[in-house]
Every structure is written in structure tokens, then in C-alpha cells.
Structure 1
């Protein structure tokens, strides 16, 4: 057997039906379009729904813009830092270890919600002004890392 000898099994391939070629062909006259009506005559443009407000006009349009290089910070509040059982420096790695930060390698920003009752030594990529003031007021230190 050679490649040029290959043939489909008999009866497995039907010939394409040619419509509109006379009534003897079985698909003549109306050519499978039924009788009368808009669809039997010309073309209906894509998206046309017979005068009903079409889907593409019913759903909202895409709006806005997503900045491709936006820096998205993982945020942690000072109240959560105050509850950590850590005595030394609190780094982003320690925050990941205690599952306060989800993403690996994402920059961490400390926000000022909550109370600071002990001196905290915090290293993070960014601090809000209120967080910085609360940590320093409690006798802690703030270090911005890059």
C-alpha cells in the first residue's frame, strides 16, 4: 500500500449539496431558505436582530485604561504589625511567612490603620505618612527598601 492508494471508505464521504439548481435536484426553487420573508430574500447584516435592540448595543462598551507598568503594592496596616510575635526587624519576608502578604516579590506598603503600642522596626517598600508617624511615635524605626 502506498500513500497515493489511500481512499476513504465507501459511503463515508457525501458530496456537497448544490442548492438552487432546479427542482429535480431536491434543493431547487427556495434552496433551503423556506418561503418568503426577509431571510429568504437578501442578506441580513451581522448583528441585526429584526429591529430589537441588538446585543452589542445592550451590553456596555469597554472603557478606561489599564497601565501596563503600574506598581501594585501589597498593603499591611500597622495594627496587624503590632500583633505580630516578632521582636526584631519586620521585613517583607517575615510578612510573607505570617501570611500578611500573598504575592512573592510584590512590593509592600505599610498603611496607618490601627494602633501601635510597642516599638516596631519595619522595613518596607513604602509607608503612608500616618503609618510612619505612628511607628516613630511608639519609638520604632522606619526603613524604605527598594
Structure 2
């Protein structure tokens, strides 16, 4: 390969549009702008979103932002943090008392944190991930989750 033989790949460079160069070019006379109207004239472009005087879409739609209304945030609690508490029966009130949760009404979920469970935990009214559930049940613990009593759900 030599420097004088290097060429760009075929189709990567597109020739610029040379308007007003006769009928044969395909862009003669009106230069690809069509006949009459605002867009055919020099400087004749309206602002983005303008719909000819009709109320534009961005003003017709309600301004509610990007947050989903009614969505509840789920606070995740590591299984290793539950082991540090020192109690076997754990529910949202126990977590609140130990300062792991700021509000008992928030939706809670226990997640597995690659730790080994050495005591039988009984978790009541808190959602539990599959990994955490397997680790708890393997150590002789249990997960009791009732939809009606669970806080924030």
C-alpha cells in the first residue's frame, strides 16, 4: 500500500448538491425546492415545532415531567445488614427501630449480598429477592409475606 493509492471507501464520500446547474442535473430551475410557498423562498423557514398557527404539539400536551405518578420507590436492604441486627424475627418496624429504614410505609425488599446466613431468620411482610430467599430458607429461616399486611404495597 502506498500513500498515493489510498482512497476513501466507495459511498463514504457523497458529492455535495450543486443546485441551479440545468435540467440534466436534476436540481435545475427550482433547485429541489418545489414551486411557491414559504419553504421555496430564501430565508423562508419557520421555527421548529411551528404548525401554521395551530397550537403546537409541545404546547397541547400536559407538562407533567418524566416521573411516573403513583410509582413507589423500593428501598433495598442487604441481607448482611439484617444479620447485624441480632434479632431473628424481622419486620418493617424492627428495621425502623434499628435505623435501616426512615419510614415504615416505604416499600422494602431484602436483597442477597453474597453473605452466608448462619442463623434462622424469620422475615415478615417484606419482599425478598430469589437469592436472599434461598439463603434464608437454606439456613432454616422462613419468609412470611402477606399482600394485605405488607406496608407500602
TM-score (norm 2): 0.50
Shift of 1:101: 1.0
List per-residue Cα deviations over 1:45-103 (Å, max 9, x = no partner): xxxxxxxxxxxxxxxxxxx721111121121111111121214x211100000011112
Unaligned runs of 5+ in 2: 1-64
* 2:120 alignment counterpart: 119
Q: Quick check: 1:116–1:138 contact (8 Å CA) kept in 2? A: yes
Find out whether 1:134 has 2:135 as its counterpart. yes
Q: What's 2:105 paired with?
A: 105
Structure 2 CA distance for aligned equivalents of residues 136 and 116 of structure 1: 9
Large movers: runs of 4+ above 3 Å: none
Gaps of 5+ in 1: 1-63
Alpha-carbon distance between aligned partners in 2 of 1:78 and 1:116, rounded to the nearest angstrom: 8
Other structure's SS at 1:122 match: strand
Q: CA RMSD in A?
A: 1.9
**Deviation digits for residues 79-134 of structure 1 (CA, Å, limit 9, x no counterpart):** 111121214x2111000000111123112111111331111001133111101111
TM-score after normalising by structure 1? 0.52
Q: Does the C-alpha gap of structure 1 residues 102 and 115 become closer, same or farther in structure 2, counting only changes over 3 Å?
A: farther
